[in-house]
Structure 1
Amino acid sequence: MTDIFTLDAELRADLGKGASRRLRHANKVPAILYGEGKEPVSLTLAHNKVFRAQQEEAFYSSVLTLNVDGKPVECLIKDMQRHPFKQVIMHLDFMRINASHALRTNVPVHVINEEDFLKAGATVSRHITEIAISCLPKNLPEFITVDIKDLEIGQTLHLSDVVLPKGVTSDDLAKGEDHDLAVVTVNAAKVQSDDSDTEEEETTEE
């Protein structure tokens, strides 16, 4: 765990829209921490620290540590509200986790070995960018690698074809075969139509 995934947070009692505006003007981010059967608590974090951390893809699929008034709490980021056009984070939702309890979250998909298809003029269509998983916190992967080297033109790789890390299961596959989502499809190269050339020739003849 890198330092950027350990954030200092302060408890806050001043709630409401006005209080949140004052926090943002002071370069702070209002947040809430909930889960594990405990009462939600309202927090404040330094905007610059959060902004730096959220630039890393792994921030969204890693176990984070919040130092809440000096006491470490392990959690996941569950929601982030951003300003519609400014580079400002408006609010954060964190969910507590327990090392002995399975968690559910989404992790990004990284597709590898697509270069040969692209060189041949084929296209690679990515149907999903994240996979919903369940696992213990210690088994949480930063991403799921999807290797398409053995696919053929026209074939689709589904969730059931993805090799998940040890201790990780797919939430969708647990619902049944009807939820075996398409992940990646390799499409044949498009052949340009000669219609335009034919029409040009006909026009010339006329």
Structure 2
Amino acid sequence: MSIELNANTREAQGTGASRRLRRASQVPAIIYGGTEPALPITLDHNEIFHALRKEAFHASVLTINVGGKKESVLLRDTQMHAYRQQVMHVDFQRVDLTHELHTKVPLHFVNAENAPGVKMQGGVVSHVMNEIDIKCLPSALPEYLEIDLSGLSVGQSVHVSQIPLPAGVEIIVHGTDPVVATLTLPRGAKSDEAAATDGEAEK
């Protein structure tokens, strides 16, 4: 997905200047990294506020048009107001389109309702991870990784090594093959075998 934002350079800096920008429905932001100096910019509040609500915005290479010059960036940090729906500040990091980048992408879990452990055993799926570290060229960056849970029974898990990966994408593993999701019985519930054993004992 191609996502582009318009921005203006920000001359005045400091707390007072940032307050004035926010009152004018502008958001102070910065682009940093690469071989060029950090670039203070301003964004339209409504544009960035609605963009931040889209999952893809957090895991895509973005284009920021600053006075006709386009920068390829990743979203790195967002500061929100403590209780208002207001974006206070945004950080972007420049991306070199010819070099691998390291970032996090969300995990999408599908078909849990079709898993034998859910349909026939009364189990529930627990998501141990909701995002994961990857490295790839910017052109190969996926918006998310999809994990099919349809084959799980109670007591089974999906591990990092079982996640299907698009071409050119590599997961950065922290630990020996961590669990991503697991299917277990709710607390207090009994498996079919345990229930059958109890039934035999009561006879």
TM range (shorter): 0.7 to 0.9
Structure 1 equivalent of residue 126 of structure 2: 125
Structure 2 equivalent of residue 153 of structure 1: 154
Structure 2 equivalent of residue 115 of structure 1: 113
1:8 aligns with 2:6: yes
Deviation >4 Å, runs of 4+: 189-193
1:186 aligns with 2:187: no
Q: Secondary structure at 1:115's aligned position in 2? A: helix
Structure 2 equivalent of residue 106 of structure 1: 104
Across the aligned residues of Structure 1 and Structure 2, the Cα RMSD in angstroms comes to 1.6
Structure 1 stretch displaced more, 135-144 or 30-39: 30-39
Match of 1:52 among 30, 50, 60: 50
Q: What aligned pairs does 1:27-42 form with structure 2 within 5 A after superposition?
A: 27-42=25-40
Q: Secondary structure at 2:109's aligned position in 1? A: strand
Structure 1 gaps, min length 5: 194-206
Match of 2:94 among 93, 96, 99: 96
Evaluate the alpha carbon distance shift between residue 149 and residue 192 of structure 1 in structure 2; reply closer, same or farther with a 3 A threshold. closer
Deviations 1:132-176 (A, max 9, x none): 00000110000000112222210111111111111001112xx6x
CA drift of 1:42 comes to 0.4
CA drift of 1:179 comes to 4.2
Deviations 1:9-44 (A, max 9, x none): 111120111111110000000001011132111000
AA partner of residue 50 (structure 2): R
Following the alignment from structure 2 to structure 1, what is the Cα–Cα distance between the partners of residues 144 and 189? 37
Following the alignment from structure 2 to structure 1, what is the Cα–Cα distance between the partners of residues 166 and 49? 29
Tell me how many residue pairs correspond in the alignment.
187
Following the alignment from structure 2 to structure 1, what is the Cα–Cα distance between the partners of residues 119 and 87? 40
Following the alignment from structure 2 to structure 1, what is the Cα–Cα distance between the partners of residues 136 and 63? 18
Following the alignment from structure 1 to structure 2, what is the Cα–Cα distance between the partners of residues 152 and 69? 55
AA partner of residue 151 (structure 2): D
CA drift of 1:190 comes to 4.8
- Is residue 113–residue 150 contact of structure 2 (8 Å, CA) maintained in 1? no
Structure 2 gaps, min length 5: 191-203
Following the alignment from structure 1 to structure 2, what is the Cα–Cα distance between the partners of residues 180 and 171? 11
Percent identity of equivalent pairs: 43
